Amino acid sequence: MEPFELLIHGASEVLTCMGEGTAEQKLAPIAKGAVGIRDGRIAWLGTEPPVRGELEIDARGGFVGPGFVDCHTHVVFAGDRSGEFEQRCQGKTYLEIAAAGGGIARTVTATRAASEQQLIELAMPRLERLLRHGVTTAEVKSGYGLDVESELRMLRVIAKLRDRTPITLVGTLLALHAVPPEFKEDRAGWVKKVIDELLPVVAREQLARFNDVFVEQSAFTHEEARACLHAGRALGLLPRLHVDQLTANGGAQLAAALGAVTADHLEQISAEGIAALAKAGTVAVLAPTSTLFAKARPFAPGRALVDAGVIVALCTNCNPGSSHSENVFLAMGLACVENGLTPAEAYLGFTRHGADALAEPELGRLQPGSPADLVIYEAESYRALPYHFAMNDVAHVVKSGRVVF
């Protein structure tokens, strides 16, 4: 047998995330495991490598696991909302700031004014920080353009960023993120424009895989979301929803009824909403950093969701307003301390379950044939990641078999 192109050995354990049963069983570790890589894919997993590697990495007793999948981000944006953070520290709420003309609208003004090149340059360091935190796949949303041209520009920026970062980027159209200022008196007009003009171009040019809507008092109604997601689905765009974040709005039940791939946020989800997600198989995406940063407590009931049988994914939700952070390990730590997840469940939230949230069953797991996206840690166990609170124990990141960090 030819040598592997890359052989990783000397690990305390390799977490394959291929098991079934409890969260701990799902991690399916190989004690003192090694990974052989060829052609960007995993060629071999086990304890006694059959051949050497052309290149070898000694994990020096750290553990190895799948690259992280950050399934909900807004990393393409211009402008700064530090003033709003200060206002929240002084007692104003996220919704009060939005109602006074700040919030998403402020980022829309800055993003519309930025060139494609500026948006690329602004997004690059954010992606670099995600990479250093072990992220090898990230979803990125539009939603700060809110006119046809600017939404398309955001999605084209996401497409162009693919040539600049090793991270696999998955695009999501979020044209119903807030009512554009031009349509304040005619919100139906914007929904119609999105359905008639924007969605067909996005689908034709394959600019997004998902179609997302923010269902909230300050944003869109159930009926508007339903119309947009139906139209998107007919064009091949998979539905997902921001729901039950700031106010309880029955959005989880809507996500379940529409067969959405994910229901995101869920701080205010009801018992009926939890049961509906479990029945529909919709993945719950929790964004604990934004619950903290936007001061939008309570934290989503992660424990109750897991206990009801819902697949729970985690995300950084990196954006300028509600979660100005690329810190995967802060999200993981909060998910344990505040959402009630165990360390194993939190780790799955950014690996296997994060991949499930993007309908990418090959990712977030390590098995022969799967993409060689993996992380080598300084820590001996996944338990150290949420425990070493908000700190980064990543030693190396490998993407498609190449060492990228």
d(CA 201, CA 194): 10
> Closer to ligand NIG at the Cβ: 327 or 370?
327
Rounded distance between C-alpha atoms, residue 131 and residue 342, angstroms: 24
Contact positions vs ligand NIG (CB under 6 A): 74, 103-104, 107, 214, 242, 245, 290, 317, 319-322
Residue 26 vs 242, nearer CB to ligand NIG: 242
For the chain, give the number of residues: 405
CA distances from 359 to 170, 271, 351, 389 (A): 11, 25, 12, 29
DSSP state letters, 299-311: PP-HHHHHHTT--
Nearer to ligand NIG, 172 or 351 (CB): 172
Rounded least distance, CB 240 to ligand NIG, Å: 11
Helix, strand, coil shares, percent, the chain, to 5 = 35, 20, 40
Q: How far is it, in rounded angstroms, from Cα 266 to Cα 388? A: 26
- CA dihedral sign, ordered 334, 340, 344, 347: negative
Nearer to ligand NIG, 141 or 399 (CB): 141
Q: Decide whether 77 or 382 has the Cβ nearer to ligand NIG.
A: 77
State in angstroms the smallest separation of the CB of 133 from ligand NIG. 18
d(CA 337, CA 335): 6
Compare residues 103 and 251 and give the one whose CB is closer to ligand NIG: 103
Residue nearest to ligand NIG (CB): 321
